[in-house]
Amino acid sequence: MGRHVIPRGFVVNTNDHKGEVFFNSDDYTRMVRMGANTQVIRLELGKLSDFPGGQLEPNYLLKLDSLVTLGKNADIKTVFKMTVYGVDKFVWEEFWQNKKKEYDTYINAWKVIWNRYSNNPYVMGYDVVNEPRKLTMNISYNDLTNKYLIPLYQKIIDESQKINPDKKILIQSIFMNKGEGIDNNQYAEITAPIKRQNVVFAPHIYQNKIDFIKPVMDRFDRESDLLKAPILIGEWGFPTFAKTDTVISGKLGQLEYRELYIKTAEVFDQMGVGSIKAWFLGNRSMQNFLPGGPSTWSIFSDSTDAGTVERKYITDVISRPFPQAIAGDIQNFLFNHATRTLDLNLISDNSKGASKIFIGANRHYPDGFSIIINDDFVMYYNPIKNVGLETYKVPKGSNPSDFIWDIHAQKLVILKWPFDKETYNIKIVPGIRNYK
């Protein structure tokens, strides 16, 4: 439809440290009601390739099919991300040298996916190399990027576009060795263009120092300009420590996490970028590689694979209101967590179809909400009456029945803007303001 879309959602794992992970339609309903319109499914190289210890597993492909279908049924688009898990070993230093035609083996694994989903409109793209490494190579990050990573991306993109030229290719930068990060950012800067079409820059940000969030995102913005590729934050959200679930304030406390996540979310929104949160998982296992003790990226605290008990000190920020898809051009938007106000500016284009704004009223507006457009259009939702949207005032020539509250998906659907090619300021605010 050509609408202005902001992708937001979750990394969906097919397994964790305890084994396979399974999801059902109820899990995807929960994703939708948390604002998701995109999922990133982590692929296991060992189940798709001929690398040592790996082989193509037909049942794994059926599992991927089911996840894509669950997404489709919930109006969630899919991106696939390749990880190097599941093989006997994956040595980055050997991979870059390509002496055993490792690139071809790697691309052949991707071809399985490309051919399978080339005609599936709910698969929007592929994150082709996840967190590539330098490790012990005697080479600078800049040279590794320019001499190896970018040529590999060009080769992958060229092969992919022979099969599915309209799919997006997501790219990342080199994951730097421990202790070599800049501005507390572990990802090396890309300093040369890729010169390919349909590319999306998908950096990760796991920043735990609040003062570095904006500078790091500004650097990503410069790389995006160089690459001529829009940004989609491929993963974000500093991992949660086990102790954070019980500590409210102080170091590693819930209030600190909430402040950190709110600041990160505000920078994302001000830049207008989409973002994918790791992980839509329960807490079956934790990792122990940070000085604060056992930690996890899982957003649920119970010990089941899919999980249901939210870590609300982060999930309420993740699930904030935002414009999901707009018929027109989004100029800017921001959700103010203190006032619970979504402020959105756009220019309408009714030829692009319907618009969707995620509101999450069950979470953010249990007392109801009002929709205020250019001060002369006011509708509101009263959860006590539960009769859908009610009209307070609308300008002559507009049709309030074009505004629909989807209580199941927690979205506001606008079938048509009142006036076309118009500049709109839209506010979603808490309460129903005693309208009479």
Residue pair 84/72 in contact (Cβ under 8 Å)? The answer is no
Cα separation, 320 vs 338, in Å, equals: 12
pLDDT of 260-299, one tens digit each? 999 999 999 999 999 999 999 999 889 998 988 999 999 9
Task: Give me the mean pLDDT over the 378-398 stretch.
Answer: 93
- List Cβ neighbours of 153 (8 Å cut-off, separation of 6 or more): 128, 129, 169, 171, 194, 196
Residue 126: the pLDDT is 98
50 lies in some domain:
yes
3 state SS for the chain:
CCCEECCEEEEECCEECCEECCCCHHHHHHHHCCCCCEEEEEEEHHHCCCCCCCCCCHHHHHHHHHHHHHHHHCCCEEEEEEECCCCCCCCHHHHHHCCCCHHHHHHHHHHHHHHHHCCCCCEEEEECCCCCECCCCCCCHHHHHHHHHHHHHHHHHHHHHHHCCCCEEEECCCECCCCCCECCECECCCCCCCCCCCEEECCEECCCCHHHHHHHHHHHHHHHHHHCCCEEEEEECCCEEHHHHCCCCCCCCHHHHHHHHHHHHHHHHHHCCEEEECCCCCCCCCECCCCCCCEECCCECCCCCCCCCECHHHHHHHCCCEEEEECEEEEEEEEECCCCEEEEEEEECHHHCCEEEECCHHHHCCCCEEEEECCCEEEEECCCCCCCEEEEECCCCCCHHHEEEECCCCEEEECCCCCCCCEEEEEEEECCCCCC
Are 283 and 352 within one domain?
no
Cα separation, 422 vs 374, in Å, equals: 11
Report the 10 Å Cβ neighbour count for 315. Answer: 15
Q: Domain of 394?
A: 328-430
Task: Give me the mean pLDDT over the 116-125 stretch.
Answer: 98
- Range with lowest mean pLDDT among 16-20, 131-135, 332-336: 16-20
Would you place residue 1 in the very low, low, confident or very high pLDDT band (cuts 50, 70, 90)? low
pTM value > 0.85: yes
Q: Which of 280, 300, 319 is where one domain is finished?
A: 319
pLDDT cut 90: percent of the chain above it:
92
355 lies in some domain:
yes
Residue 436: the pLDDT is 62
Are 305 and 344 within one domain?
no
Looking up residue 280, the CATH number of its domain turns out to be: 3.20.20.80
Are 315 and 332 within one domain?
no
pLDDT, mean over the chain = 96
Task: Give me the mean pLDDT over the 311-337 stretch.
Answer: 98
pLDDT of 171-195, one tens digit each? 999 999 998 998 999 999 999 999 9
Nearest to 411 by CA among 37, 121, 26: 37
- List Cβ neighbours of 167 (8 Å cut-off, separation of 6 or more): 114, 118, 123, 124, 125, 126, 160, 198
pLDDT over threshold 80, residue 435:
no
435 lies in some domain:
no
Are 103 and 182 within one domain?
yes
* Residues shown for the chain: 436
Are 105 and 244 within one domain?
yes
β partners of residue 345: 332, 425
Are 278 and 417 within one domain?
no
Are 188 and 218 within one domain?
yes
Q: Which of 300, 319, 338 is where one domain is finished?
A: 319
Residue 419: the pLDDT is 93
pLDDT of 208-253, one tens digit each? 999 999 999 999 999 999 999 999 999 999 999 999 999 999 888 9
Cα separation, 323 vs 360, in Å, equals: 12
Residue 78: the pLDDT is 98
How many domains does the chain contain in total?
Answer: 2
pLDDT cut 70: percent of the chain above it:
99
177 lies in some domain:
yes
Residue 72: the pLDDT is 98
Residue pair 363/35 in contact (Cβ under 8 Å)? The answer is no
Are 309 and 363 within one domain?
no
Task: Give me the mean pLDDT over the 334-342 stretch.
Answer: 98
Nearest to 130 by CA among 76, 64, 174: 174
pLDDT of 140-171, one tens digit each? 999 999 999 999 999 999 999 999 999 999 99
Cα separation, 55 vs 61, in Å, equals: 12
Task: Give me the mean pLDDT over the 46-70 stretch.
Answer: 97
Are 239 and 368 within one domain?
no
Q: Which of 297, 319, 341 is where one domain is finished?
A: 319
Cα separation, 99 vs 105, in Å, equals: 12
Are 220 and 159 within one domain?
yes
Would you place residue 359 in the very low, low, confident or very high pLDDT band (cuts 50, 70, 90)? very high
Q: Are strands 377-381 and 369-373 parallel, antiparallel or unpaired?
A: antiparallel
pLDDT over threshold 70, residue 347:
yes
The residue to which tokens 């690459």 are assigned: 227
> HSE of 116 in the Cβ direction (CA atoms, 13 Å)?
18
